[in-house]
Every structure is written in C-alpha cells, then in structure tokens.
Amino acid sequence: MEELKEELKGKIIEVLNLEDVAVADIDDSDALFGDGLGLDSIDALELIVLLDKEYGIKLSDPKQGKSIFESVNTMADYIAKNRTK
C-alpha cells in the first residue's frame, strides 16, 4: 500500500502539473481539494481520467469522487480494492 501511495503522489504531480510540489510535500492524509493541494474542478476530471488510464477504474457515479479524492489515503484505498490493471 505504501508503494501505491508514493506512486500515486508522483502521478498526481505529473498529470496535474504541480510544478512546485514534490512527492515528499504531500502527506497521505492531506486534503487534495480546498485548503490542501488546492486542486480545482478540472483537476478532479483529470484524476478520474488517471484512475481509468492507469488502474482501469471507471467511475460510473461522479458523486463517488468526493469521498475517493479526499486524500492520497482514500484514493489508494479505493484503487487497491477496485483496480483492474
């Protein structure tokens, strides 16, 4: 699980072009939206694409995103349980 979290942080930084953020800057429990990394609605869509492209997970209900994308912890947990690749 720790390996997945580190991998996930790297992918988030890469796909969201978080230029001044390093993997070490993101705590597993940091809020991704709001006061945490300050991501926006387009970033949320990019994270949905990331789940599909990298882990074969298609989110059928966008409302699920709010809890899944709460933090790296919640994302990694969801990926571990639902990944198809």
Task: Write out the residues near another protein by the rule CB under 8 A.
Answer: 15-20, 38, 42-43, 45-46, 49, 52-53
CB-nearer residue toward another protein: 15 or 73 = 15
Q: How far is the CB of 16 from another protein (least distance, A)?
A: 7
**Exposed e or buried b for every residue in 70-80, given b needs 16+ CB within 10 A?**
bbbebbbbbbe
CB of 42 to another protein, least distance (A): 5
Q: Where are the extended beta strands (E) located within the chain?
A: none
Min dist CB 10 to another protein, Å, is 16
Q: Which residue's structure tokens are 């926006």?
A: 40
